[in-house]
Amino acid sequence: MKKLRNLLIFAAVLLGLAASVHVQASLNDDPDAVTVQPVSKKQLASIKKHYGSIWYHIKFYRTLKPVNVTIKFGDRQNTKLAHPKVLQIPKNTIVSGNKFNDSEKGLVRYSFNLDFDSLSYHLLKPKITKQFAEPNFAISVTAKSKQSLNRRFKRITPPKYLPTYSRGILNKYPYTPKIDPFTPTTDQLKITPDGNVEFYPIISGQTKNNQLFSLIPQSFAKINKTIVKGNTRYLYYSHHISGVHDQRVAKSGRYQYRLTVTNLHQPFSLFDGDQGAVMMSQYKIGSTTYYTRSGSYGA
């Protein structure tokens, strides 16, 4: 029995090494992967002095009434196929996006461009299937006047459960010398603006950004309480999220499980020749280190 156990342990170690080698090889083959550059406090101060504001200032809005949006979902099998769906976003839903206006033939058009990533599975669930992929088209709400748009979306401060300067999209840190700034290679955790935690395993063999993850999470939960202490956010919800190292802290109720999200204040940059450097922040979530895009500088 002892010999069998040792053989099983040895086999598990070999599988782990093989997986590590596979990830390393795939990253080395990625022409867009660039060297991870840790940024010290002194370097960060110098970057800020030279470039000014480098952190993202994501704009969050609360819907003041139900808002209908048309989403042209992609297809997991046929990349040329689109699945248009009309989604009604309920009143008092928090999303991220940007307001802008432009003119065509002398007519001014006011628009709100909605970030698809800010829509939780809870919102999308009635409209999607396993066949659907992320849309390749912008999601816009248009109006004839600025006042009309303002009656639908009200700017608010970032929700406290979201990581600072982040859209709430975090990927497991791969511990490799190179990382692709825009195409992740590891599992994803999302903390959505409307207060959900969702875990998405990466789909192996995919290269297109909108095909890397299913639109249906492996597991998810609604955040029922948030406590912020220093660099750490404590998120409480009613049940365990598979794939996440949360802790059970109560036997029943809405606050049974707690997820600890700690800003490690260990930023790193990934220099992209076309778009300057992308700033990443690292977070310890449970017992796992994740990274998230939080800024950029240069060009």
> What DSSP string describes 44-108?
HHHHHHHHS--B----EEEESS-EEEEEEEEESS-TT--EEEEEEEPTT-EEEEEEEEEEETTEE
CB 280 within 8 A of CB 265: no
Q: Using 50, 70 and 90 to split pLDDT, how confident is the model at 149?
A: very high
Per-residue b or e along 118-132, where b marks 16 or more CB atoms closer than 10 Å to that residue's CB: bbbbebbeebbeeeb
Is the model's pLDDT at 131 over the cut of 80? Answer: yes
Is the model's pLDDT at 172 over the cut of 50? Answer: yes
Range from 39-43, 101-105, 206-210 carrying the lowest mean pLDDT? 101-105
What is the mean predicted confidence (pLDDT) over 255-271?
97
Contacts of residue 72, defined as CB under 8 A and 6 or more positions apart, other chains included, come to: 82, 83, 84, 135, 136, 137
Is the model's pLDDT at 261 over the cut of 70? Answer: yes
Residue 221: the pLDDT is 98
Residue 8: the pLDDT is 43
Is the model's pLDDT at 197 over the cut of 50? Answer: yes
Residue 79: the pLDDT is 86
What is the mean predicted confidence (pLDDT) over 51-79?
95
CB 185 within 8 A of CB 27: yes
Is the model's pLDDT at 27 over the cut of 50? Answer: no
Distance of CA 273 to the CA centre of its chain: 23
Rg (the chain; Cα; Å): 21
Residue 96: the pLDDT is 98
Q: What are phi and psi of 149, to 5 degrees?
A: -70, -40
Is the model's pLDDT at 4 over the cut of 50? Answer: no
Residue 209: the pLDDT is 83
Q: Using 50, 70 and 90 to split pLDDT, how confident is the model at 117?
A: very high
Task: State the amino acid at position 36 in one-letter form.
Answer: V
Residue 11: the pLDDT is 46
Name the strand (E) or helix (H) holding 43: helix 41-51
Query: Residue 9 and residue 153: Cα distance in Å, rounded?
Result: 55
Residue 299: the pLDDT is 60
Q: What percent of the chain has pLDDT over 70?
A: 88
Per-residue b or e along 274-299, where b marks 16 or more CB atoms closer than 10 Å to that residue's CB: eeebbbbbbbbbbeebbbbbbbbbee
Encoded tokens for 215: 């639109």
